[in-house]
Amino acid sequence: MTASPLLSVSALRKSFGGIHALDGVSFELEPGEVHALVGENGAGKSTLIKVLSGVHLFDAGDITLDGAPYRPASPHAAKLAGIQVVHQEFNLLNDLSVAENISIEAMPKTRLGLLDRGEMNRRARTALDAIGLSDVDVTTPVRQLGIAHRQLIEIARALQSESRILILDEPTATLTERETERLFEIVAGIKAKGVTVVFVSHHLDEVFGICDRVTVFRNGETIATREIADVTPADVVRFMVGRTLEEAQHAGSETHLGAEIALRVDGLRTTANPTGTPVSFELRRGEILGIAGLVGAGRTEVLRAIFGADPKLDGQVELGGQPVQITGPRDAIAAGIGFVTEDRKEEGLILDMPISANSSLVDLGTISRRGLLNFGKEREMAAQGGARLKLKYGKLSDHAASLSGGNQQKVVLAKWLAKTPKILLLDEPTRGVDVGAKAEIYGILRDLVAQGMSMIVVSSELPELITLCDRIMVMAGQEIQGTLARADYSQERILHLAYGQTQTDERIPA
């Protein structure tokens, strides 16, 4: 390593509530390098980027930029310091022109204080030419451009002010191969101009294609920084996985596994996957089937299609050997399926309503007669559900918003359990839940399968799936990449499938 890093981060810590998002992050950026950040979902990459770009303040640790302490209080401060981020989600104003978007942070003015359109278009032209986008007219509305061009325009915008560090957060997630290549050429050009590029990606082949060094994150910590030339993709995966997980966290008693097939999905196609291999699998009675995969791999889409939350293109669902037609959540619930959604605030809870009202939402029939609510019965149902799940609350009439993340999740569970479903679909069941509540939720789920319920659990946390599931199905690109039995579990193997390592050779040509 050379003597003077451009940016140096050491022992950085940041927590949200009880969750340690960053728990000792240290790394350095050399001037003019392309530096990859890799790690599982939730390993801390996004939080680090948000700290560097002034969205979050850090709790402890040091960051120095050019030897001076760096602690941006706002995104604006970060930009002034020369750190620019191109986010995963686009921050473009779709109905304005390319030029307007590029100048949005500082519109050029004439002496009269009016918008200087000529100057604005000139600046945009320069910015686009700088990254080789000579074919795009700066007066085109952004809406008319493809996804790839929008991404490049974000990069052009980020670069036109004096950038020293450009952070690209999963820039290739929505790009085709050709577009990705173009992006890489641009990155190479940016690097040649002396700008340092931080590249966050889930695709190891890309990391090995364009980066000089790689830093691996795991559980909020940086595990290692290596020269790309010195490591192989397999080494990086090993760093991401870490020590082999203690075996047998799961009781391992498979006596609860029934012989019957509780759910069979055959030839399922979602709107996200109109052309690929359709999804087919079976779920046994009393089984917990895990679905692993990266964000966007198609796991949530499968659950939503089974439950009828989104229309499916094609495919058969059989419950207990009988084909069922599910055209909406109503059908699914009637057939005995429950669905604990990924985002409890947006889809699960009615935050401004009492705990009791949330608990009874799926099973209003039981607590009412001829459409009239029986509040006594409702409180009874909520109290029972709460006791069963060890819910910690003040009063049942408190709003759901007043509960902690773990307890909110328990209310969502209680809501579905009130109807005693035969099959429970769970999407990220412990997201934003502290460690203690997590263990409690695992216990609850195990009790339920012991009683004969079957479950499908989607999770981005591999330890969770390994602890909880009898089988793990791995998805990537909307397709099933493989299914592992308990005996074959290893984080490494799951990640290999999830990163589509089988396809690596096809992805790198060119």
Partner 1 sequence: MSAVDITPHSPEKTSMSIRSVINNAGIGIALLLMILFFSVASEHFLSANNITNILTQITINLVLAVGMTFVILIGGIDLSVGSVMAFAAVVAGKAITLPGLGATELIILAVLAGVLAGMVCGILNGVVSAYWSLPSFIITLGMLNIARGAALQISGAQTIYSFPFAFEEFGSKLIYGVPVVFLVALTLVVIAWFVLNRTVFGRLIYGIGNNEEAVRLAGHPVFWYKVAAFSICGLTAGIAAIIYMARLNISSPIAGIGFELNAIAAVIIGGTSLSGGRGSVIGTLLGAFIIGVLANGLILIGLSDFVRQMITGLVIVIAVILDHYRAKYSAS
Site for partner 1, rule CB under 8 A: 307, 309, 328-330, 332-334, 339, 341, 346-354, 356-357, 361-362, 364, 368, 371-373, 375-376, 379, 395-397, 399, 401, 415
Residue 65 or 303: which CB sits closer to partner 1? Answer: 303
Residue 60 or 401: which CB sits closer to partner 1? Answer: 401
Mark out the alpha helices in 56-146 (DSSP H runs).
75-80, 98-102, 117-130
Write down the least CB distance from residue 258 to partner 1, Å.
26
Residue 76 or 330: which CB sits closer to partner 1? Answer: 330
Q: What is the 3-state secondary structure (H, E, C) of 209-268?
A: HHCCEEEEEECCEEEEEEEHHHCCHHHHHHHHHCCCCCCCCCCCCCCCCCCCEEEEEEEE
Write down the least CB distance from residue 463 to partner 1, Å.
28
Cβ atoms of 432 and 403 within 8 Å: the answer is no
Tokens representing 28 are: 């350095």
Dihedral sign for Cα 150, 34, 9, 463, please: positive
CA end-to-end distance (rounded Å), the chain = 31
Residue 116 or 347: which CB sits closer to partner 1? Answer: 347
Give the H/E segment covering residue 38. strand 34-38
Query: Which residues fall within 8 angstroms of residue 380, CB to CB, at 6 or more apart?
Result: none
310-322 b/e (C-beta count within 10 Å ≥ 16 → b): eebeebebebeee
Write down the least CB distance from residue 430 to partner 1, Å.
19
Angle at 83 between CA 78 and CA 86, to 5 degrees: 105
Residue 152 or 382: which CB sits closer to partner 1? Answer: 382
Tokens representing 417 are: 């359990």
* CA gyration radius, the chain: 25
CA distance 486 to 493: 12
Cβ atoms of 268 and 274 within 8 Å: the answer is no
Write down the least CB distance from residue 347 to partner 1, Å.
5
Write down the least CB distance from residue 381 to partner 1, Å.
13
Q: Which residue has the tokens 């999830």?
A: 498
Write down the least CB distance from residue 232 to partner 1, Å.
44
Dihedral sign for Cα 169, 40, 343, 75, please: negative
Write down the least CB distance from residue 348 to partner 1, Å.
6
Tokens representing 463 are: 């330890």
CA distance 292 to 468: 12
Cβ atoms of 400 and 351 within 8 Å: the answer is yes
Write down the least CB distance from residue 183 to partner 1, Å.
35
Residue 107 or 373: which CB sits closer to partner 1? Answer: 373
Write down the least CB distance from residue 128 to partner 1, Å.
37
Residue 368 or 504: which CB sits closer to partner 1? Answer: 368
Describe the strand order of the beta sheet including 7-16 as a list of residue ranges.
Answer: 19-29, 7-16, 60-65, 68-69
Residue 138 or 425: which CB sits closer to partner 1? Answer: 425
Residue 109 or 395: which CB sits closer to partner 1? Answer: 395
Residue 199 or 393: which CB sits closer to partner 1? Answer: 393
Strand partners, 193: none
Residue 178 or 395: which CB sits closer to partner 1? Answer: 395
CA distance 333 to 218: 38
Which pairing describes strands 454-458 and 288-292: parallel, antiparallel, or unpaired? parallel
Residue 220 or 385: which CB sits closer to partner 1? Answer: 385
Write down the least CB distance from residue 399 to partner 1, Å.
8
Tokens representing 332 are: 């699914």
Write down the least CB distance from residue 17 to partner 1, Å.
16
Write down the least CB distance from residue 52 to partner 1, Å.
30
